[in-house]
Amino acid sequence: MRFYIPQGPYLPASSVLLLGISFTFILVWTDYLADRDAKDQMMQRHVMIYSNATERAFERSQAVVENLVALFYSSSTVSRGEFDTFSRNLFKYHSSMQALEWIPKVPFKLREHYEILAQQYYPEFQFTDKDEQGNLIRAGHQDYYYPVFYLAPYAGNERALGYSPSKLDVRDIAMEKALSTGQTYSSSRVQLVQDEQPDQYSLLLFSPVFKTQYPPATLSQRAAELRGYILGIVRISDLIDNALGNHESYPMSMALSDMDAAEGNSFLYLYQGKQISVAGSQEADSQDGRPPRFYSQLPARLQGSDQIITRTLNQLGHRWTLAFYPKEGAYEVNLKHSFLIFSLGTLLSLVIAYGTWLWSRRQMQLQSQLTMTVEEQGLALKVKDKALLRHNRALMGLTSNPKLLQQKLDDSLSDITRIAAETLGVERASVWLLSDNKQSIRCFDLYELAAERHSSGVEMHREDYPQYFEAILKNSSIVVNDAFQDPRTREFGDSYLKIIDIKSMLDVPIRRNGDVVGVLCMEHVHTKRCWLVDEEHFCHSVANFVSLAMESIERRQTEQQLQESSERLAIINGIATNVSAGMSVKQVIGATLDRLHLRFPQLRVSYSTISEGGLLSVEDSRSPSHMPDISGVKADLQRANHYLKSLLKRQMVLVTDVRQDPRLSSLKEVLAAGNTRALLDMPLLHSQELVGMLCLDSSTTHFWNENEILTLQEIAEYLEFAVREAMGQEAREKAEHALEQHKANLEQLVHKRTQQLEYQAEFERLIANLSTQFIRLPADQLEAAIIDALQVIGEFSQVDRCSLARWNNDDQSLVKDFEWLSEGIDSIFPEDKRINISQMTWLVKRLLRKKPLYFSDFTQMTVDTKDAQRFFEGREIRSLCMIPLLYGMSLFGVLVFSTQSKKRTWSNNDLILLNLIGEMLVNAFERKKYEEALKNSERLLLLSNKKLEDLVTVDSLTGIANRRFFDLRYRSEFHRAQRYGSSLGIIFLDIDYFKQYNDDFGHLAGDKCLTRIAKILSQQFQRATEVITRYGGEEFVAILSNVNFDEAVSSAERARLAVEELGIKQGPSCPLDTVTLSCGVSLMTPDVSNSKEELIKNADSALYQAKKSGRNCVKTAVE
């Protein structure tokens, strides 16, 4: 059987018809899904708006009650007029509050007193209760009444005044919960005595008021200290209607339920845009927590539907449930629209089927474009909603975080770039700041999203990227979807964009005082990105916040600049002092480098000379630990012609990164050897043949700041003058020295031989005297004798240094124990007194073989010992003699003789005599070391005991004795008073309203206030029988021994007046103008029947009476 396959125009027409119908079905389904998702999201947003409004309504109601509580804490007595005035002000802004009441705690014996007080305003006032029929009657006997004493407004609530029910579960439970938690607590739904409508319910908001400002720690203490309750009555319908009535009306209903209420009482209110009565109390709750009346209000179409949305709020000690359901036809997909699309699509497919093949293909393309447009619009709408929400959350996080305006600028920029990158979803977010001359821009912080990494320091110059700088300085944003095509950014192509694969850029200017100071840059990588207007606005907001953060450090920068100017002046004054002291050129340069290195310890500072042929020679340098010393380094600058010309013209050279500067490309090896990454060179005139150069080097990329540039420039100018002065002085000194040298040579020829003979005889007598002295010397005089002996030997041997060093075989080092130095001579040992010679193998071997080492001049040393030659020359040693010292058969130490500036020849007789001296010193040294170890152990033990005692008895903040010292001293004084029958007094001193002082001025100001008061109190209690200590917090306690009652009271009054005379101002929340003391005094002559706690308890009770009597006074408790 054959099947007929249409040919010619029928085949395209059939295909078009089939495709058209299929496409129409897909389009209808896509539209249906998009409409359904949009309606779901809309309903979720409307639910969130209603939920937030309801939650804020609960919070406002709680705030009204707690504001009234604060009124009662601010004053021990609140009049009815004050209550009414304060309440009226609260009602102005909180219309949902039905009434505010003051419910005091009234014992039975005071019932009549309270009724008489209230009858002054309301003659018929009495404590009332309800009988079984619900009628108001006079209240019967109760141990404690809780009547409505103050009431606002009175009109409409007259029946509630004086109402104190003997038994009402809802009211009692709410009051007990408020008392147990010490916070505001809501009752379940209640019907008030003043409400006539049977279905009108309200919430009772109870907040306890205690006699103390803070709730006591235990429930029993809170019950004892309870003054009463502030009651706020909120009509549920008014609360919900006011909260939601101010918002746009949405097509949904909301049911409010109390999930903590008893069964049958949970459903409170149903809101449908107008007031709906609550359910009857006889209905039971459903299994899922939703009230039956709520289900009875639902149409059949929503029974068991997923369109019901619930939210839970935790407020006022209850869990409130909000249930939302849509009205009929709301939030439902419009099927008519889908049917219309399907009809039109089918009809259009039939029409196109009769067209030509060309029209068929064209129509298919149009259908494809239409599909893309619908999808893109739907996607754009979703993306825009999510993006706006992210933007708002990010901006709220920035503006609500005060640390961003208080911390360092680098830390603030790190947080800002991270938040911007995460919000916009870009790989790279950075902040760039322009230089003062607008010729360069530097990255202060770059955040990479994928790596979660921050970096900074990259610098770009205007001459390299002119179009980009021009666009930024015009105060306009750079919104680039294709960075390689836009003329403003394509300059970055090979050097920046291609390396990181940046496709799109969004740069907005950072403005300060109307001027552009930097750029906030967003860079999208790998794919092109079409920036939205909302994203540009978000970046402008972030840029404005960066400007605000920069403002916060401007004042600190001004202070820092003033300090830096003073430091530069101090360095210049030091150079002037060196010149006037007659220093040589080398000494002047060295002293200048020392001062600069102290100013910039993390940078290497050096001084070099440059010949006309381009040979650079480093004369001297000072380096940090992580950079090598480059003194003596030479380099040919002819290879860096542009760099050399700038220096010869005496032009400053500033390089942030030597790897990116083409002028220094030929000097990379030299710079790498010196670990130089950034440099600042300041040329000056050294002499007619040489150009001097003062240089700062950094081992990392460094952005040279204004202070570093000005410091180097000013020092270079003054150093040029100082070098010229020192050179003239050196020339004069050389001429004078030459004359003196010639004269000395003549005299030396005459006396040389005579001195040799006298020296030999005198040396032998010296050794004999020292030997006799050490034999008879007491052990405690060994150290001084050894030092004196080294001085006598050094002076006699005409050396500059005479050292006794101990040999450490573990690390092959010499450790200095004793040393004599001629005047003006430095030690060859470093500060740690240790010289490691392990690298000089030949020297170690010679010493271990017990052979002396001596050189008259280091030019005599062989090639194999050149390392030692450099080592000794680096310590300014001209001649050297090292005598190994033996103890038993082992090397004990070395006796070292050296000269610094003169040549010394060592004869065989010298070596023999010096070896004898070394043997005497070894024995003396061992005696000294043994006694020193014993004394040192004793000293360390005493010192440790003293430090431990100070740490445990001194208060770290105020500097006076602490609580531990008080406990020790009080125990001692109490036992002493028991033994001798003497009196003992305790004074408790407490700072009044110190919490308010901390709240108004902050804890740092509070610490300063404590320190000042502690200082004045220590001046008031200075006698040997008195001691003042910090007991804890703002409380001090004084111990007075062997005093009478009048003396103790007088001491307390004197301390109180001294603190009051300080005049420390209190804050606005405190009723007193200045900081004052309340004092409690207790005196006792204790015997064996008394305990230490009695005296403290009495003083504490007296202090409580002082507080209760209005503070700033002295109260006593005589025992």
Residues 6+ apart with CB under 8 A from 293: 267, 270, 278, 279, 280, 283
892-909, pLDDT tens digit by residue?
888 888 888 788 888 877
CATH architecture of the domain with range 779-932 = 2-Layer Sandwich (3.30)
The predicted pLDDT at position 6 comes to 44
287 has pLDDT over 60: no
Residues 6+ apart with CB under 8 A from 173: 187, 188
Q: 1057 pLDDT band (50/70/90 cuts)?
A: very high
284 has pLDDT over 50: no
In terms of Cβ atoms closer than 10 Å to its own Cβ (0-12, 13-18, 19+), residue 1004 is exposed
Angle between helices 10-74 and 80-93 (to 10 degrees): 170
Q: Which fold has domain 52-279+302-326?
A: Beta-Lactamase (3.30.450)
Between residues 545 and 633, which one has the greater pLDDT? 633
The predicted pLDDT at position 4 comes to 42
Q: Are 131 and 95 in contact (CB under 8 A)?
A: no
Backbone angles phi, psi at 569, to 5 degrees: -65, -35
7 has pLDDT over 50: no
The predicted pLDDT at position 285 comes to 40
Average pLDDT over residues 875-883: 85
Token pair 């010289």 is at which residue? Answer: 835
356 has pLDDT over 70: no
Q: Which helix (H) or strand (E) holds 342?
A: helix 335-353
What are the residue boundaries of the structural domains of the chain, listed by start? 52-279+302-326, 391-552, 559-687+702-736, 779-932, 953-1118
DSSP H helices, 498-584, are 498-500, 533-552, 554-580
The predicted pLDDT at position 575 comes to 72
Domain 391-552 has CATH 3.10.20.810: no
The residues facing 899 across adjacent strands are 879
DSSP H helices, 954-1041, are 963-980, 994-1001, 1003-1020
Average pLDDT over residues 261-283: 63
The predicted pLDDT at position 295 comes to 46
Q: Provide the pairing of β-strand 984-991 with 890-899.
A: unpaired
1089 has pLDDT over 80: yes
721 has pLDDT over 70: yes
The predicted pLDDT at position 120 comes to 85
8 has pLDDT over 70: no
636 has pLDDT over 80: yes
Average pLDDT over residues 1062-1085: 91
473 has pLDDT over 70: yes
Identical fold, 391-552 and 953-1118: no
The predicted pLDDT at position 3 comes to 41
Of the ranges 25-29, 778-782, 1042-1046, which one carries the lowest mean pLDDT score?
Answer: 778-782
The predicted pLDDT at position 104 comes to 92
User: Which of 146-155, 162-171, 352-361 has the highest average model confidence (pLDDT)?
Assistant: 146-155
Of the ranges 244-253, 266-275, 281-290, 670-679, which one carries the lowest mean pLDDT score?
Answer: 281-290
Q: Using H for helix, E for strand and C for coil, what is the string for 131-143?
A: CCCCCEEECCCCC
Q: 306 pLDDT band (50/70/90 cuts)?
A: low
The predicted pLDDT at position 119 comes to 85
Q: 281 pLDDT band (50/70/90 cuts)?
A: very low
Q: 5 pLDDT band (50/70/90 cuts)?
A: very low
Token pair 């509050």 is at which residue? Answer: 97
Indicate the residue type of 1091: S
257 has pLDDT over 50: yes
Between residues 301 and 784, which one has the greater pLDDT? 784
Q: Which fold has domain 953-1118?
A: Alpha-Beta Plaits (3.30.70)
Average pLDDT over residues 260-283: 64
Q: What is the mean pLDDT of the chain?
A: 81
Nearest residue to 710 (alpha-carbon basis) of 696, 698, 690: 696
Q: Are 510 and 519 in contact (CB under 8 A)?
A: yes
- Which one-letter DSSP state was computed for residue 860? G
The predicted pLDDT at position 757 comes to 66
User: Which of 20-29, 139-148, 394-403 has the highest average model confidence (pLDDT)?
Assistant: 139-148
Between residues 1076 and 928, which one has the greater pLDDT? 1076
481 has pLDDT over 80: yes
| The length of the chain, given as a count of residues | 1119
243 has pLDDT over 60: yes
Q: Is 1106 helix (H, G, I), strand (E, B) or coil?
A: helix
Nearest residue to 209 (alpha-carbon basis) of 234, 184, 243, 236: 184
Share of the chain above pLDDT 70, in %: 84
308-338, pLDDT tens digit by residue?
888 899 988 889 999 988 887 788 777 777 7
1013 has pLDDT over 90: yes
379 has pLDDT over 60: yes
Domain 559-687+702-736 has CATH 3.30.450.40: yes
Residues 6+ apart with CB under 8 A from 945: none
Report how far residue 437's alpha carbon sits from residue 354's, in angstroms, rounded to the nearest whole number: 73
Confidence (pTM): 0.35
Report how far residue 994's alpha carbon sits from residue 1001's, in angstroms, rounded to the nearest whole number: 11
Cα dihedral 987/993/996/1002 (nearest 10)? -30
Of the ranges 183-197, 206-220, 316-330, 855-869, which one carries the lowest mean pLDDT score?
Answer: 855-869
